[in-house]
């Protein structure tokens, strides 16, 4: 079953639950971004509805095992108005969904919708710093165990890819860049090692990492994120000089 087939089956299930209250179902995240190779990660979906009640959640919970067996992450369910009113609260996450999604059912809910550039820039700064904190804390929790380090890096792959897409957009790149082109832009814009960044971005496709490679990959991965922090600090310096 392909990602879109799995998402279509989810849309059918949600239509049975919500009926006319279902506004749209779409794929976002890894499977919605441009990749030259097959993506093996679970399929992330968003379902926007007119109203969401406890009974709807209970009906979805009854189907959750079946969704998981089809390679789906649990769908992000929310009222459409809640999504629209939360753009300033989650500019990075929702901005990425708006920029990279595949409509599966219903009408495109994002027509005329956009995250403010200043909100995106500020969120990018916050996310880069929190990503560094997450990597440091996760490494300590891994306790030098190679498999745990591999799991840490893999779990961070999709957030890292989303962050890189946003950083690239904020620094003037077009949307929908494939991994190698995205890495090349980041090399020019922030002086990052393009080969290393491309390898990190491909982890989102592979969703697999040998523990021995993970041990070698973690230090330069952390260096990349810390280099991004330095690049963002330069934004503030430039702004104060303006």
Terminal alpha carbon distance of the chain: 54
pLDDT mean values, one per 10 residues, the chain (242 residues): 95 98 96 83 95 98 97 97 93 90 96 88 91 98 97 95 90 86 94 95 90 98 96 70 42
Q: What is the pLDDT of residue 101?
A: 96
Q: What is the pLDDT of residue 237?
A: 60
pTM of the complete model: 0.74
Which CATH fold would you assign to the domain 3-106?
Answer: Beta Polymerase; domain 2 (3.30.460)
In the chain, where the domains are located: 3-106, 117-241
Q: What is the pLDDT of residue 135?
A: 98
Q: Is the separation of the CB atoms in 25 and 106 below 8 Å? A: yes
């Amino acid at each position: 079953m392909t990602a879109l087939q799995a998402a279509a089956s989810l849309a059918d299930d949600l239509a049975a639950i919500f009926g006319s209250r279902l506004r749209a179902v779409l794929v976002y995240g890894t499977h919605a971004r441009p990749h030259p190779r097959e993506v093996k990660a679970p399929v992330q979906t968003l379902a926007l509805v007119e109203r969401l009640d406890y009974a709807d959640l209970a009906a979805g919970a009854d189907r959750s095992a079946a969704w998981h067996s089809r390679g789906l992450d649990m769908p992000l369910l929310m009222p459409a108005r809640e999504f629209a009113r939360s753009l300033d609260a989650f500019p990075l996450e929702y901005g990425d969904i708006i920029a990279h999604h595949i409509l599966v059912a219903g009408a495109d809910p994002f027509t005329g919708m956009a995250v403010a550039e200043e909100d995106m820039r500020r969120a990018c700064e916050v996310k880069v710093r929190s990503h560094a904190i997450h990597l440091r804390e996760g490494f300590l929790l891994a306790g030098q165990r190679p498999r745990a380090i591999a799991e840490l890096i893999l779990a961070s792959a999709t957030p890292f890819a989303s962050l890189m897409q946003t950083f690239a957009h904020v620094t003037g790149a077009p949307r929908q860049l494939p991994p190698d082109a995205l890495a090349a832009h980041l090399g020019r814009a922030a002086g990052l090692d393009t080969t290393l960044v491309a390898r990190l971005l491909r982890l989102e496709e592979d969703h697999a990492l040998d523990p021995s490679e993970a041990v070698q990959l973690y230090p330069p991965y952390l260096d990349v994120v810390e280099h991004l922090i330095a690049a963002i600090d330069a934004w503030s310096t430039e702004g104060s000089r303006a």
